[in-house]
Amino acid sequence: MLTVEDATAQILARARPLGAESVDLRVALGRVLAEAVVSRREIPPWENSSMDGYAVRAADTAAAPVTLAVVGRVAAGALPDRALGAGEAIRIFTGAPMPAGADAVVPQEDVEAGEREIRVARPVERGAHVRPRGEDVRVGDRVLDPGRPLGAAEIGLLAALGHSPVRVHRRPRVAILSTGNELADLGVEPGPGQIPNTNTYSLAAQALEAGADPVNVGVAPDRLEAIEERLRWALSADVIVSSAGVSVGELDLVRTALERSGAELHLWKVAMRPGKPVTFGTLGHRLVFGLPGNPVSAMVTFELFVRPALRALAGLERLHRPRVRARALDPIPNPGHRRGYLRVTLSRDGDEVGARLTGEQGSSILRSMVLADGLAIVPGDTVVAKGDHVEVMLLRELA
Ligand code: AMP
Ligand code: MG
pLDDT value of residue 349: 85
What's the chain look like in SS3? CECHHHHHHHHHCCCCCCCEEEECHHHCCCCEECCCEECCCCECCCCEECCCEEEECHHHHCCCCEEEEEEEEECCCCCCCCCCCCCEEEEECCCCECCCCCCEEEEHHHEEECCCEEEECCCCCCCCCEECCCCCECCCCEEECCCCECCHHHHHHHHHCCCCCEEEECCCEEEEEEECCCEECCCCCCCCCCEECCHHHHHHHHHHHCCCEEEEEEEECCCHHHHHHHHHHHHHCCEEEEECCCCCCCCCCHHHHHHHCCCEEEEECECEECCCCCEEEEECCEEEEEECCCHHHHHHHHHHHHHHHHHHHCCCCCCCCCEEEEEECCCEEECCCCEEEEEEEEEEECCEEEEEECCCCCCCCCHHHHHCCEEEEECCCEEECCCCEEEEEECCCCC
pLDDT, tens digit, 9 for 90 and up, residues 145-170: 999 999 999 999 999 999 999 999 99
pLDDT value of residue 136: 97
Ligand 1 neighbour 202 (Cβ under 6 A): no
Ligand 1 neighbour 298 (Cβ under 6 A): no
Ligand 1 neighbour 243 (Cβ under 6 A): yes
pLDDT value of residue 235: 97
Ligand 1 neighbour 294 (Cβ under 6 A): yes
Give the residue, out of 294, 296, 301, 364, with the most ligand 1 atoms within 8 A of its beta carbon, to mutate for a pocket test.
294
Ligand 1 neighbour 293 (Cβ under 6 A): yes
CA of 263 to the centre of ligand 1 (A): 22
pLDDT, tens digit, 9 for 90 and up, residues 129-148: 999 999 999 999 999 999 99
Atom of ligand 1 nearest to the CA of 251: 3
Ranges under pLDDT 70 in the chain: none
**Ligand of minimum distance to the alpha carbon of 290:** 1
pLDDT value of residue 268: 86
Atom of ligand 1 nearest to the CA of 245: 3
pLDDT value of residue 399: 84
Ligand 1 neighbour 195 (Cβ under 6 A): yes
**Ligand of minimum distance to the alpha carbon of 193:** 1
Ligand 1 neighbour 198 (Cβ under 6 A): yes
Q: Whose CA is nearest to atom 10 of ligand 1?
A: 294
**Ligand of minimum distance to the alpha carbon of 197:** 1
C-alpha 333: how far from chain center = 33
Atom of ligand 1 nearest to the CA of 297: 8
pLDDT value of residue 82: 96
Ligand 1 neighbour 274 (Cβ under 6 A): no
pLDDT value of residue 300: 98
Give the residue, out of 179, 185, 194, 195, with the most ligand 1 atoms within 8 A of its beta carbon, to mutate for a pocket test.
195
Atom of ligand 1 nearest to the CA of 252: 3
